[in-house]
């Protein structure tokens, strides 16, 4: 094995990293759960980072419906007069059999370029 990777090896490594990022994303987790036939899915988002609406819409397009949502504060630093931290959101989704068929899950293609 050589010291440097070939262009094909670099491309394959980049592709694996992109697939891993997509699998760890909310839509990737929802897609995997649907393929596994799960009926419930729980996801957690960091509310300080971005708006969750686009992710929630994508997950619902697959056939999941938000059943319950909760928000909580996670402190990470506290002084005498202030507390800093992050707001987290936890969503519980239920699979809806009447909408979002398996076809929708199967047609989710490579979206790793958007992540």
Which pLDDT tens digit goes with each residue over 2-18? 577 888 888 888 899 99
Gap between the Cα atoms of 56 and 50, Å rounded: 12
Question: Domain residue spans in the chain?
Answer: 7-114
Please tell me the distance from the alpha carbon of residue 26 to that of residue 41, in angstroms, as a whole number: 10
- Which class is 7-114 in CATH? alpha beta
Average pLDDT over residues 75-99: 86
CA distances from 68 to 52, 61, 76 (A): 14, 17, 26
pLDDT of residue 77: 86
Which residue is listed with tokens 């759960």? Answer: 33
Q: Is the pLDDT of residue 35 over 50?
A: yes
Residue 88 has pLDDT above 70, yes or no: yes
């Amino acid at each position: 094995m050589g010291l440097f990777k070939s262009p094909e090896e670099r491309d394959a490594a980049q592709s694996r990293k992109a697939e891993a990022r997509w699998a760890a994303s909310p839509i990737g987790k929802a897609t995997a759960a649907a393929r596994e036939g799960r009926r419930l899915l729980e996801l957690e988002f960091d509310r300080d980072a971005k708006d969750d609406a686009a992710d929630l819409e994508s997950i619902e397009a697959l056939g999941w419906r938000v059943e319950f949502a909760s928000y909580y504060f996670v402190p990470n630093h506290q002084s005498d007069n202030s507390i800093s931290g992050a707001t987290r959101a936890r969503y519980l989704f239920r699979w809806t059999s009447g909408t979002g068929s398996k076809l929708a899950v199967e047609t989710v293609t490579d979206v790793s370029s958007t992540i």
